[in-house]
Amino acid sequence: MRMSNSPRERALAAIAALPSFAPVPALEFTVGNRLAIIGDPDVAFGWGERVQQACAVIVLATAHHHRLAALRAAHPDALVLPVDRAAIEGHAGAYRVLWECGDEQGEIACDLILDLQATPHWSGFELPVGYFAPGSDPLDQALAVLALVQLIGEWEKPRYVRFSSALCAHERNRIGGCSRCLEVCDTQAIRPSGDHVAIDPYWCQGCGDCVGVCPTGAVRFQYPRPADWSTALSAALDAWSDETPCTLLCYDERWRGALAQWEAEGGELPDHFLPLPIWRTTIFSEEWLLYALIRGVARVVLVSAAESEKPALLRAAAMVQTVFEALGDPYAAERVAIVCETTPEALTKRFSAPLSPYVSPGRFRFRLQTEKNDSMRLIRDALAKLAAERQVDAPVLLPSGSSWGAVAVTDRCTLCFACTGVCPTQALQAGGGIPKLQFTEARCVQCGLCANTCPEQAIELTPRWNPSQEANQAVILRQSEPAYCAECGAVLGPRSVLDKMVATLQSHPLFGQPDRQLLLRLCADCRVKAQFRETDPVRIWEL
Ligand code: SF4
Ligand code: SF4
């Protein structure tokens, strides 16, 4: 048996020897052969005739078209609906076309849709599976028809993401917070749904953009799961050698063919490259990048297929760079490289020189966790250790949009605690029975819900990395001397707020007398009891 000698061979052998990971949940599609063709009758009838062996076609033809009557006469068996307007809902195997024609309207169910309208119902984003809008080019139309016929049958695709609505910071009480995933989703699979967003798994095509930008981990990728990916990387790094720095090369399915062809033609990756293909490189958030570098990778090279995929990756890379710069790493700017539209030859030339790792492999041996919050805690702990060794303990400002940071309140804060009720991570908390607002920086994901909710606009956010232990502790942002119920001693709230309220109301005719003012200094229960004792109680409608 030949021994694996190079670090790369050992690393890849170690990954191959890992037990299989738990299967990713699948989404099942049952796609029948009902095809709706929408558009110009001439073209729609033409394609309808050509696919009639494979599909049960219904033509939704542009109404009032001068050729419609003649075509219907020539195809007496064809199912034809003249339509003025058509709206579409559903997904492959379960589409519904809601049509209107003059005063008439109705809907048809179909499995697949070929939309040949001049202005298709959907365009401008990655279209859902089973819906084709190829435009007017006959070649594109033919390719679409070939592709749609392939979809007939039963098949499944991975549930690419797992979504936890409780962690989503989209909205609270109709006040907006995070919308990052909505802004980047190219398939329109994500929609607002009350306090959180909702992800349509049938529309999701696994681009991973939302995963990379989600600050809370409400959206987690499952293809692969972070824990599985980090297990594979850990196994590879354990089999690697300390002497050879490791450049982690991650690329997606779309670049795999180019690399395979280049290697078949004699191209060879430098020894320090560890190639780890992944479904989409867009899933690399700061969590994955920081993990790789802390685990001992010297440099991460992400091959992205398109320029449009780069902004989110660049944001994450900028955050990582800032953290490593703060740690005094002279190669901080080179730790993460995002390249796109490159050839394997150009890429290997560009990164031919290895880089020394900042952290020696094996120093930190944790894996990424099921929940992002747990992963980030481990990552922050590791970074805090590195920072302590280099005597870095002052907070470091991070690029805007980073998901680490601080919250501060100004003097306008009245301790109303509207913010603690909306904070999805419990970074902001009330102070257990006394008027006190506490903040734990390590929990904050900078979603902005608290600032948007605060009626006094008293909250300010600062993206930053706080390497000190203080980040893990609840610090008091604001507190006030409590006011107690004058009868039972229960805490009523901040004394300053109560004093202000009493001062405002004492000029009111109903509270002019001291015994009436006393009512304002009672808790709800004691106030009711006091009201019953009074011969002339305050009536709410008199206020
Ligand atoms: S918290 Fe995550 S899932 Fe919720 S809106 Fe923001 S990015 Fe989307
Ligand atoms: S404290 Fe942080 S996590 Fe909580 S609502 Fe404010 S910005 Fe969001």
pLDDT in tens, 308-337: 777 889 999 999 999 999 999 999 999 999
Of all ligands present, the nearest one to the C-alpha of 421 is: 2
- The Cα angle at residue 459 between residues 456 and 462, in degrees rounded to 5: 160
Spatial CB neighbours of 516, under 8 Å, sequence gap ≥ 6: 510, 538
CATH number belonging to domain 26-155: 3.50.50.60
- The residue contributing the CA closest to ligand 2 atom 7 is 446
Backbone torsions φ then ψ of 488, nearest 5 degrees = -100, -10
pLDDT at 337: 96
Q: Where are the alpha helices (DSSP H) in 30-137?
A: 41-51, 68-74
Q: Cα–Cα distance between 281 and 211 in angstroms, integer?
A: 11
Q: Quick one: 22 exposed, middle or buried, by C-beta within 10 A (0-12, 13-18, 19+)?
A: exposed
Q: Are 438 and 477 in contact (CB under 8 A)?
A: yes
Q: What is the pLDDT of residues 199-223, one digit of tens each?
A: 999 999 998 889 989 999 999 999 9
* CA 52 – CA 30 distance, rounded (Å): 20
* Residue pLDDT, tens place only, 333-381: 999 999 987 899 999 999 999 999 999 988 999 999 999 999 999 999 9
pLDDT, residue 4, reads 57
Residue 425 has a pLDDT of 93
CA 541–ligand 1 middle distance (angstroms) = 44
How much is the pLDDT for 516? Answer: 76
Tokens 């903040």, residue located: 439
Instruction: Let me know if 468 is exposed, middle or buried by CB neighbors in 10 A (0-12, 13-18, 19+).
Output: middle
Lowest mean pLDDT among 202-211, 278-287, 458-467, 510-519: 510-519
Dist. CA 494–CA 481, nearest whole Å: 6
**Tokens at residue 176, please?**
């907006």
Contact (CB, 8 A) for 199 and 182: no
| CA distance linking residue 12 with residue 504, whole number of Å | 74
307 neighbors 325 (Cβ within 8 angstroms):
no
Q: E strands, 441-490, where?
A: 459-465, 474-479, 482-484
C-alpha distances in Å from residue 411, one per residue of 193, 499, 504: 35, 17, 20
Question: Counting atoms of ligand 2 from 1, which one is nearest the CA of 215?
Answer: 3
The secondary element (H helix, E strand) that includes residue 196 is strand 196-199
Per DSSP, the residues of 330-344 read TTGGGSEEEEES--H
Ligand nearest to the CA of 448: 2
Tell me the sheet residues that pair with 221: 161
Ligand nearest, relative to CA of residue 444: 2
Q: CA gyration radius for the chain?
A: 31
CA of 293 from ligand 2 middle (Å) equals 27
Per DSSP (E only), the strands in 299-367 are 299-304, 336-340
Residues having CB closer than 6 A to ligand 1 are 168-170, 178-181, 196-197, 210, 213-216, 218-219
Of 286, 339, 331, 293, whose CA–CA distance to 312 is shortest? 286
Q: 136 with 126: CB under 8 angstroms? A: no
If you measure from the C-alpha of residue 127 to the centroid of ligand 1, how many angstroms do you get, rounded to a whole number? 22
Contact 178, 249 (CB under 8 A): no
> Is residue 274 helix, strand or coil?
strand
Task: Tell me what percent of the residues of the chain surpass a pLDDT of 70.
Answer: 97
Residues forming a β-bridge with 491: 484
Contact 463, 405 (CB under 8 A): yes
Q: Which CATH class is domain 159-221?
A: alpha beta
Indicate the fold that domain 242-382 takes in CATH.
Answer: Rossmann fold (3.40.50)
- Specify the DSSP element, H or E, that contains 439: strand 434-440
Q: Is the pLDDT of residue 153 over 90?
A: yes
Q: Any residues with CB less than 8 A from the CB of 347 and at least 6 apart, and which?
A: 249, 301, 303, 339
Q: If you measure from the C-alpha of residue 188 to the centroid of ligand 2, how many angstroms do you get, rounded to a whole number? A: 26
Give phi and psi for 407, each to the nearest 5. -125, 135
Q: Which ligand is nearest to the CA of 220?
A: 1
Sign of torsion, CA 161 27 126 275? Answer: positive
Pocket test for ligand 1, best of 162, 179, 214 (most atoms within 8 A of CB): 214
Instruction: Label residue 513 by pLDDT band (50, 70, 90).
Output: confident
Q: Are 77 and 10 in contact (CB under 8 A)?
A: no
Q: Which residues form the pocket of ligand 2, taking CB atoms under 6 Å from any ligand atom?
A: 169, 407, 422-423, 425, 427-428, 444-450, 461
Q: Cα(468) to centroid of ligand 1, in Å?
A: 28
CA-angle at 322, arms to 316 and 325, nearest 5°: 140
What CATH architecture does domain 397-479 belong to? Answer: 2-Layer Sandwich (3.30)
- 195-218 burial, b at 16+ Cβ within 10 Å, e below that, comes to bbbebebbbbbbbbbbbbbbbbbb
Q: Taking the CB of residue 142, how many other CB atoms lie within 10 A of it? A: 13
Task: Say if residues 147 and 54 touch (Cβ distance below 8 Å).
Answer: no
ipTM: 0.91
Domain ranges of the chain: 26-155, 159-221, 242-382, 397-479, 482-542
Ligand 2, atom 2, lies closest to the CA of: 444
Q: Do domains 159-221 and 397-479 have the same CATH topology?
A: yes
Judged against a pLDDT cut of 80, whether residue 260 lies above it is answered with yes
| CA dist., res. 14 & res. 10, Å (int) | 6
User: Per-residue pLDDT tens for 29-74?
Assistant: 999 999 999 998 889 989 999 999 999 999 998 877 777 778 788 7
Query: Cα–Cα distance between 89 and 96 in angstroms, integer?
Result: 5
**DSSP character at residue 237:** H
Which residue CA neighbors atom 8 of ligand 2 most closely?
447
Cβ atoms of residues 158 and 222 within 8 Å? yes
Q: Which residue has the tokens 């738990």?
A: 22
The answer to whether 156 and 185 are in contact (CB under 8 A) is no
